[in-house]
């Protein structure tokens, strides 16, 4: 019974990448939602690492390759394009927020990045669900 539920060996990397991408996107979402509140409450917080441009670039540098790899590996297993719509849209929104961060208000950047994070998390969740369904489907 456990062999039916366990993902195939080649699929484990994709599952790990999806879970990692959900965690990184979740961290980004939490940071974007909490930072404006913390900045209002404690002006000194904006001087910390969370307010630095390098922090956003490091997160973006993690999110993009991990997400693309997870989506590609998942698609190879389940061939379901449904997860690509929110996933790739989320990546595009997060990249746009990072590129145009200087032209937007802090609230605008936080809202745009949060939207991208939610879309990314949705895409990875759909990818995980599709993988699970593919693993549980009867083999021909």
The token duo for 104 is 């937007």
pLDDT confidence of residue 1:
45
pLDDT confidence of residue 8:
58
Q: Residues 94, 116, 88, 136: is their CA dihedral positive or negative?
A: positive
Tell me how far apart the alpha carbons of residues 29 and 123 are, in angstroms, rounded to a whole number: 14
* Helix, strand or coil, per DSSP, at residue 83: helix
Tell me how far apart the alpha carbons of residues 66 and 63 are, in angstroms, rounded to a whole number: 5
* Helix, strand or coil, per DSSP, at residue 100: coil
pTM of the model: 0.67
pLDDT confidence of residue 2:
47
Q: Residue written as tokens 């939207």?
A: 115
Residues of the chain with pLDDT under 70: 1-11, 35-36, 38-51, 139-140
């Amino acid at each position: 019974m456990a062999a039916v539920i366990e993902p195939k060996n080649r699929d484990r990397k994709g599952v790990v990448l999806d879970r990692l991408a959900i965690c990184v996107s979740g961290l980004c979402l939490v940071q974007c939602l909490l930072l404006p509140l913390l900045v209002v409450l404690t002006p000194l917080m904006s001087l910390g690492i969370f307010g630095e441009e390098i922090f956003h670039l490091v997160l973006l540098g993690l999110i993009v390759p991990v997400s693309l790899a997870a989506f590609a590996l998942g698609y190879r297993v389940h061939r379901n394009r449904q997860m690509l719509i929110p996933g790739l849209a989320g990546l595009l929104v997060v990249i746009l927020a990072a590129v145009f961060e200087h032209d937007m208000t802090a609230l605008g950047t936080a809202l745009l990045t949060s939207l991208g994070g939610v879309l990314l998390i949705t895409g990875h969740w759909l990818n995980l669900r599709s993988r699970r369904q593919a693993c549980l489907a009867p083999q021909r």
